Amino acid sequence: MPLDFIPVAEHLGLIKQLTESLLLQAFDQARDWPSDFTLSINVTSLMIESVDFPDWLAHVASGGQFPLSRLEVEVTENALVANIDSARLNLERLRAMGVSVALDDFGTGYSGLYHLTKLAIDKIKIDRSFFDTSLDNQNEMVKAILALGKSLRMKITAEGVEHEELADWLASHECDFAQGYLFGRPLPLA
């Protein structure tokens, strides 16, 4: 699982090589997708803090013949607050290069709402834990997150959507996107 091997790869100094290899494979697949599809990648705190990360990502995308405008970087709240100044600068550089930025697992981390207005973020991804229990128990919180995203002109994605009832509720409350097993399971490489 990623939570097991990513820290080891970071500790051994192999995270960039591993990520580059995976990105090149993903670019090969995504080039055949419809042109309005975006490839989302998760980024570790070590990577988002690295001064050369935006340039490195642009170099890898160029080598993989993949346009940066079709790339979305997902970063968690906890990854951002580890070194907020470096992260902020890198997020701004990524957006200036055409890369979209999503705040992943929103609501589970340490970040304050203040950071949403100070960081170059295009999208909030509501963590699946908000939908693990009955929607009745969570709907006011989810409504608040949706309203917050709209007021900040950010797109909102609900993660972990597995039931039609939840998808309908999210659509009726103007959630921009939803992802989860209801829509499809992960696919192997073609």
pTM: 0.88
Other Cβ atoms within 10 Å of 40 Cβ, number: 17
| pLDDT value at residue 91 | 95
pLDDT of the chain along its 190 residues, tens only? 666 788 888 889 888 899 999 999 999 999 999 999 999 999 988 899 899 999 999 999 999 999 999 999 999 888 887 788 888 999 999 999 999 999 998 877 766 677 778 888 999 999 998 887 666 666 888 999 999 999 999 999 999 999 999 999 999 999 999 999 999 988 777 6
Beta bridge partners of 125: 157
Q: Tokens 């103007």 appear where?
A: 174
Domains of the chain: 1-106+116-121 (3.20.20.450), 126-180 (no CATH)
Other Cβ atoms within 10 Å of 148 Cβ, number: 15
Q: What are phi and psi of 32, to 5 degrees?
A: -90, -5
For residue 102, the SS3 value is: strand
CB neighbour list of residue 68: distance below 8 Å, 6 or more residues apart? 57, 58, 61, 97, 98, 99
| pLDDT value at residue 177 | 96
| pLDDT value at residue 141 | 86
CB neighbour list of residue 66: distance below 8 Å, 6 or more residues apart? 27, 30, 31, 39
